[in-house]
């Protein structure tokens, strides 16, 4: 059974709870700047573990000291759903421990 897409208002309301995240091109997006490449790589590994656990995978881009995430739900036709916010919230809980600024 597909996950239900959130309305624009629901997305905007939920984003108020996630500073640094935005809604662009039908996706939740966030970029983290970290202290160095090692910290950025460590964050990617931790995000990958969360994604495996949730069986919900985002696009990840690793730069020297940056990690960019972009997430939506393929099972909802590429719309944003509660699953996407669940992933974003889990990432937010671990990112500060990795030097995210």
The pLDDT value given to residue 99: 52
Q: Torsion angle of alpha carbons 76, 73, 18, 70, nearest 10°?
A: -140
Give dist(CA 23, CA 11) in Å, integer.
8
Spatial neighbors of 69 by CB under 8 A, at least 6 apart, are: 28, 29, 30, 31, 32, 47, 58, 59, 60, 88, 91
DSSP state of 75: G
The pLDDT value recorded for residue 101 is 56
Q: Kindly report the pTM of this predicted structure.
A: 0.91
User: Domains in the chain and their CATH numbers?
Assistant: 24-96 (3.30.1360.20)
What is the block-wise mean pLDDT of the chain (101 residues), using blocks of 10 residues? 87 96 97 95 96 95 97 94 96 77 56
Instruction: Give the per-residue pLDDT at 5.
Output: 97
Query: What was the pLDDT predicted at 3?
Result: 82
């Amino acid at each position: 059974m597909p996950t239900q897409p959130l309305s624009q208002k629901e997305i905007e309301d939920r984003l108020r709870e996630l500073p640094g995240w935005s809604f662009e091109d039908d996706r939740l997006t966030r970029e983290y700047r970290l202290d160095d490449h090692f910290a950025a790589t460590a964050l990617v590994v931790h995000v990958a573990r969360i994604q495996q656990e949730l069986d919900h995978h985002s696009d990840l881009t690793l730069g020297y000291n940056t990690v960019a995430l972009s997430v939506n739900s393929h099972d909802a036709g590429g719309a944003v759903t509660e699953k996407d916010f669940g992933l974003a919230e889990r990432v937010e809980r671990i990112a500060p421990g990795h030097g995210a600024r």
